Structure 1
Amino acid sequence: MDRLLFGDNQFFGVNHMSEEKARAQAMRFHDLDSIMAVLDIAYDSGIRTFMCTTHELVGSIADIVRNNPGRYPDFIFYPGMPYAHKYANAVTDLGMLGAMRKFAADDSLFGTAVRGGKAVASKDVESLMKMLVDAEMSMFVGLKTPVVFLQNVVTDLLLGLGFKEAFAMFARHVTQEYHAEAGFITMNMPRLLDALDEVGVENPIVCANMNKIGFRMSGGMEEYDRALEEREFRAIAMSVLASGAIGPREALEWVAERPKIQSVVFGASSAANIRGTKEIADSIWTPATAEAPALTR
């Protein structure tokens, strides 16, 4: 994993500190050109990994990268799924069967009916999970996707329901079908690590809020620090800037004191913020520390 990953919250109106800023960002990034302009800045600054949802516009981004291999030879996607709003809107507009037909990776109506119908009729959760993952991954065919994430909206729902085996199902499918590693995004890292241990997911990739002021760190900073010291996993920190409450240098220096955090994922919408964050990261993680764990979110 790269030390610094670029996220997509700013493109789709997500800001955990300010609804006004979220609305302004959503208006700014309402078209593909404005999003690609920012991604080009990040890519040209040396940030190669895009940690993203499976929003419809991400499919268009994937098309651009796929069709321009000379421009983006090292572009890496870290897809996170499912994009819950997409499914909710499709069910509202098309109904349950219509939504399944829309998102099934197999374009054949018969294939959709057989795969989806059998899964639902037999309550075969693993088959249904595979079908949904395959549908989400169809937009990334031919692209580099070395890590595939389960979004926190599902991770934490499964955690709350106690359906821990689903994590192992997801990890197996991602590894076997896409030759990738499974990642898990969560709002409660200590509890998720316990669950992953129970179902045999070894040395998992886990992305969670981690920052100097404990912003949105469910369970408390002490539990997170204890996990970083004692547990065997690969940590990706998100919300390290605490939605703007912490400056980039202060935030990344705090991360650097915790070598178990291998990557940091951040979002930015201006060239100055993107380049400035990259320069700070490079100054903290110098070539001499290249073998130290990396940052991603």
Structure 2
Amino acid sequence: MAHKMDRLLFGDNQFFGINHMSEEKARAGAMRFQKTQSIVDVLDIALAEGVRTFMCTTHDRILEIVETMKANPAKYADFIFYPGMPYAHKYANAVTEDGYLGTLKRFLPQEGLLDAAVRGGLSIANKDVEGLITLLVDAEMKMFEGVQAPVIFLQNVVVDLLLGLKFKDAFRIFADHCRKRYNAEPGFITMNLPLLLRALEAQGVENPIVCANMNKIGFRMSGGWAAYAAAIDAYPCRVIAMSIYASGAIPPAEAIAWVAEQPQIESMVFGASGRANIRNTVELVKAADARRAIAA
């Protein structure tokens, strides 16, 4: 049974110093959220406003958030994580600190350590890409043990690299492993949605969850909205729009009104760091969806 995504998803860029239009804002955000509790406080606000899905990287700090929520199961019973992987800096730092063996022990599930080591060895010896991909997924998913993670995303850096290399088998391998080991649906983030959807279709990945930039001005969209809409119509998929504000270039009400007018878009992901912005976004989405329903 397919996972039903919420209309609004909460992103994590603002917590880790990422802003595509302003380095100053990125630095200010990173300083503000140096303590994990300050991130949890914002997630609590989002949850109170009805936004319960957190689309996040596998940054080291996310583990602290997961542990906080596992310690309060009643409060966070409905909270959902959508992990996006890999987070490359994490591995580089871990190898520097702990060495290769220490890194394996830190990230891999204990029950599967031997199995993972065997898979990793085969990957190196036989260029067994399937073993390597599943090994990396297991390493990233270790931190989400005990919480809800019904969708697992492959980050756009890897997705678009694989597209460029024409190594499309990796998408099927990733999708199969997410379903079989984690009972989760695979998700794919990309900067080139038309090319990705064709590749997923060719690999038999049916009705995939895909996330890409989608906004009124075509900011960071390969081919613009017309190409994206044509691809979505041609290849059945479930679509999440990100960068809907074009990193601040479009006013929120205008941006959300445009998204609401696109029936192909099932969900949208946004970032905010305060109650007023979160509540305003929730209200704008509800109002825009209501207008669309009336017009229909």
1:16 CA displacement: 0.4
* d(CA) in 2 for partners of 1:289, 1:81: 35
Name which of 255, 264, 267 aligns with 1:260.
264
What secondary structure is seen at the aligned counterpart in 2 of 1:52?
strand
Q: Residues 218 and 95 of structure 1: is their aligned pair in 2 closer, same or farther, counting only changes over 3 Å?
A: farther
1:4 CA displacement: 0.3
Instruction: State the match for 1:132 in structure 2.
Output: 136
Q: Match of 1:15, as an amino acid?
A: N
Name which of 152, 156, 166 aligns with 2:160.
156
* d(CA) in 2 for partners of 1:236, 1:212: 15
Decide whether the 8 Å contact of 1:210 with 1:237 is kept in 2.
yes
Where do residues 89-168 of structure 1 align in structure 2 (5 Å cutoff)?
89-106=93-110, 110=114, 113-168=117-172
What RMSD over aligned residues (CA atoms) do the two structures have, in Å? 2.0
Answering whether residue 204 of structure 2 is matched by residue 193 of structure 1, we say no
* d(CA) in 1 for partners of 2:262, 2:22: 28
1:287 CA displacement: 11
1:109 CA displacement: 6.6
User: Deviation per CA, 1:104-142, whole angstroms, max 9, x where unpaired?
Assistant: 223787555433222222211111111111111111112
* d(CA) in 1 for partners of 2:43, 2:198: 36
Decide whether the 8 Å contact of 1:158 with 1:166 is kept in 2.
yes
Instruction: State the match for 1:21 in structure 2.
Output: 25
Decide whether the 8 Å contact of 2:179 with 2:186 is kept in 1.
yes
User: In the comparison of the two structures, how many residue pairs are matched?
Assistant: 291
1:289 CA displacement: 4.6
1:93 CA displacement: 4.3
Q: Residues 142 and 270 of structure 1: is their aligned pair in 2 closer, same or farther, counting only changes over 3 Å?
A: same
1:99 CA displacement: 3.4
User: Deviation per CA, 1:192-249, whole angstroms, max 9, x where unpaired?
Assistant: 0111111111111110000001111123332112223433111100000111111221
Where do residues 1-297 of structure 1 align in structure 2 (5 Å cutoff)?
1-106=5-110, 110=114, 113-286=117-290, 289=293
Q: Match of 1:164, as an amino acid?
A: K
* d(CA) in 2 for partners of 1:98, 1:74: 34
Give the percent of matched residue pairs that are identical in Structure 1 and Structure 2.
62
Gaps of at least 5 residues in structure 1 are: 293-297
Gaps of at least 5 residues in structure 2 are: none
* d(CA) in 2 for partners of 1:230, 1:17: 32
